[in-house]
């Protein structure tokens, strides 16, 4: 993995279109809907661990795991700067063994698209099940299958962000980044142009991406065992703000599971 994931500050800027506190509100809202009141949380493939840091601000015992050393160092540094405690671990989300359990585990922003094979997804789900407290929940956010299987499949997305006077322009995927129809893998070319922090710099890299369908996820969960699906949503928003996976406005595939 190269490029944007090796520059966590730039990655965080690129992802600043998200409202992390609102997403954590939704995650905790879903926990409440399923009679869970988590005291501990583990964020997997956490990158800069923005959600783990937000959970820690709200008093949960938070941990974050990522494969990338730069991301782990950045997450630990930012947590310390925020004055919150997040236990950061560099490890693989298909193999980790932390020797403890969590009331809530989350994987955000389609990070499961970095699991390239069915074996890897199943191994990941088994590790999650082994780390859940009794009654604990796993919430995984993936991209909506419509992105790839809809009438107008998107292989290339562009957006701009602005934070503290720094401007970022991101292109994720190029028109030529086609999914291999057999493996469902694409090499996404990512370009980010950053202006305002003492000049302009351009980050370029290739991020391998594996597309998972809803039915494949369902099959992987059954194959892994140890997790029951409670609900699926098409965007962040609990209670009256809930968006069904089938809603035309749905753009995420968020699955809530309970340790069986």
Compare residues 154 and 200 and give the one whose CB is closer to ligand SAM.
154
Compare residues 27 and 194 and give the one whose CB is closer to ligand SAM.
27
Q: Which two tokens stand for residue 11?
A: 């990655």
Helices (H), 42-134: 50-57, 69-82, 118-130
Q: Binding ligand SAM by CB under 6 A: which of 25, 34, 67, 216?
A: 67
Rounded distance between C-alpha atoms, residue 63 and residue 78, angstroms = 13
Closest distance of CB 225 from ligand SAM, Å: 21
| DSSP code, position 6 | G
| DSSP code, position 179 | P
Q: Does residue 52 touch ligand SAM according to CB under 6 A?
A: no
Compare residues 8 and 136 and give the one whose CB is closer to ligand SAM.
8
Query: Is the CB of residue 89 less than 8 Å from the CB of residue 98?
Result: yes
Site string for ligand SAM, 13-42 (x = CB under 6 A): --x---------------------------
| DSSP code, position 219 | H
Rounded distance between C-alpha atoms, residue 143 and residue 59, angstroms = 29
Q: Binding ligand SAM by CB under 6 A: which of 3, 47, 136, 145?
A: 47
Which residues of the chain form contacts with ligand SAM (CB under 6 A)?
Answer: 1, 5, 15, 45-47, 50, 66-68, 71, 92-94, 108-109, 111, 114
């Amino acid at each position: 993995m190269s490029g944007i994931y090796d520059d966590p500050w730039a990655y965080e800027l690129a992802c600043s279109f998200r409202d992390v506190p609102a997403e954590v509100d939704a995650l905790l809202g879903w926990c409440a809907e399923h009679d869970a009141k988590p005291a501990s949380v583990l964020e997997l493939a956490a990158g800069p661990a923005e959600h783990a840091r937000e959970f820690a601000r709200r008093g949960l015992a938070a941990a974050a795991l990522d494969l990338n050393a730069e991301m782990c160092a950045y997450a630990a540094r930012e947590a310390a700067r925020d004055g919150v405690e997040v236990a950061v671990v560099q490890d693989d989300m298909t193999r980790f063994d932390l020797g403890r359990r969590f009331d809530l585990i989350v994987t955000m922003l389609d990070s499961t698209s970095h699991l390239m094979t069915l074996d890897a997804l199943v191994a990941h789900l088994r590790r999650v099940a082994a780390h859940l407290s009794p009654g604990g929940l796993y919430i995984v956010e993936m991209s909506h299958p419509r992105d790839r299987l809809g009438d107008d499949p998107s292989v290339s997305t562009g957006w701009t962000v602005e934070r503290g006077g720094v401007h970022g322009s991101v292109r994720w995927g190029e028109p030529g980044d086609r999914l291999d129809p057999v493996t469902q893998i694409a090499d996404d070319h990512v370009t980010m142009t950053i202006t305002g922090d003492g000049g302009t710099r351009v980050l370029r890299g290739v991020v391998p991406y594996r597309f998972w369908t809803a039915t494949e996820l369902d099959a992987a969960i059954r194959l892994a065992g140890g997790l029951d699906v409670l609900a699926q949503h098409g965007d962040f928003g609990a209670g009256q703000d809930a968006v069904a996976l089938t809603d035309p406005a749905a753009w995420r595939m968020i699955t809530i599971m309970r340790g069986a």
